[in-house]
Structure 1
């Protein structure tokens, strides 16, 4: 077997494993339990194949069956794997103290995310000190990248060919009246993000919610994004009166320093390379 190969190449994929993982991934799009028939329909797998795969996954703890309804849900082994991922994720470990400081200072919800395809995945969420009931993010969940602050920050540093590959038809799903739905318009927005060093989600994904996001870098380049989110009026107040953008960028710069930014960046391709984050002093109040 070669030392290096394209992990997307079907030649090296085991069909039975791929089918089992496809079943597990189906649960990502649903909050509730799913029956074997529903899983079969959503995955286009034969019912008998689904039945055998579910028995195997259940035996290994990856799914469990509700004996009252006969439906399936993710098992405890999935939770254990997710916990191990979070525990061993270096970005999350190095970021958590900065996230806590931002949450405590502004009282708003803070997030840490990474990019996967055309979606962001939430590695961490610290809920704000003032309860709000309309923010849908949860650790492990996904949201579209093109209409979230964290997503736009992460997309901004992709080479053009990678950006185009993630949106092959050039059309972007609308979530609110503010959502950018054209890829060329998104390119213009991403250029602005690179120039100023942060992104703003102005009710583009959820009505009433505003988000300010900043990128973090490691020794290879863009690594993750962190953000502060809350009701529009409160976030606007923090921006105008409490140096939110400066302090968010300061936190991102400190994380980037810890992750090795500026030492060996070599894969940003044709994308404009951002300046190494500066450790700026911030006014205190």
Structure 2
């Protein structure tokens, strides 16, 4: 059996998190070092890194350590993603029937744009199913832009710093200034568009999904051949996507109704 290779520093950081989670209360540095078998200096440096990323915190009064909010955020996000597909599926099926177009449900996992569900178009002429490179294409897709538009600026910049602004077609946004302006339009209009920016010949419309706290947890979109995206059809699809996103968000506990049902399509 092939030996599994692990990274010692990662294992040690995880040991610290597990020690903090198993404790009935906060722990002093020496206690953490003893429980994990990590020397004090290394333990301290790892804790500083975990604190910088929000995975650990420290009381100023007695210098004790505890689990940071980031741990709970990730746990909550994972729970939402597990529940999101069955919760959203009735609305996704309705959107698929109403528009006759391909429907996507997508989220950001870390900095990767990830497809959770896809319902194919009911029409003979439909968009392709190739999603190669999509994990790096938040800036070039309707779902990606719908999510990026509502992220805190530092989180949006982290995604772009890690993934870059790769060119997929001659219509892809490849400058930060261009993307910032496109995201401003998304926030103003309440929906996003991809006009052959990820795949030539494919037009998409997307809208963000929000949970009970108002935080964006994903996006829904409709994709169609560009030849079918005339003004009337695009307007109808845009309204349907926004209604779908609002309905799913309502199921998730959002009461802001940001996505609404009106509005006409326009280029992002």
Q: TM-score range by the shorter chain?
A: 0.5 to 0.7
Residue ranges of structure 2 left out of the alignment (5+ in a row)? 1-8, 16-77, 264-268
Alpha-carbon distance in 1 for matches of 2:82, 2:163: 33
Secondary structure, in 3 states, of the residue corresponding to 2:177? Answer: helix
Q: Is the 8 A contact 1:107 1:129 kept in 2?
A: yes
Pick the structure with greater CA Rg.
2
Residue ranges of structure 1 left out of the alignment (5+ in a row)? 1-8, 15-84, 263-274
Which of 100, 103, 115 in structure 1 is aligned with 2:93? 100
Alignment size in residue pairs: 188
Alpha-carbon distance in 1 for matches of 2:81, 2:188: 33
Q: Tell me the residue number matched to 2:234.
A: 239
1:211-230 equivalence runs, <5 A? 211-220=204-213, 221-230=215-224
Q: Is the 8 A contact 1:135 1:209 kept in 2?
A: no
Secondary structure, in 3 states, of the residue corresponding to 2:105? Answer: strand
Distance apart, 1:118 and its partner CA: 3.5
Distance apart, 1:225 and its partner CA: 0.4
Alpha-carbon distance in 1 for matches of 2:248, 2:257: 12
1:2-13 equivalence runs, <5 A? 10=10, 11-13=12-14
The answer to which structure has the higher helix fraction is 2
1:250 aligns with 2:231: no
Alpha-carbon distance in 1 for matches of 2:113, 2:123: 24
Distance apart, 1:248 and its partner CA: 1.2
1:150-165 equivalence runs, <5 A? 150-165=143-158
1:128 aligns with 2:121: yes
Q: Is the 8 A contact 1:212 1:229 kept in 2?
A: yes
Alpha-carbon distance in 1 for matches of 2:181, 2:91: 30
Distance apart, 1:113 and its partner CA: 0.4
- Structure 2 vs 1, CA of residues 235 and 101 (structure 1 numbering), >3 Å: closer, same or farther? farther
Cα displacement string for residues 149-198 of structure 1 (whole angstroms, at most 9, x for unaligned residues): 00000111111111122222895100000000011211111111011010
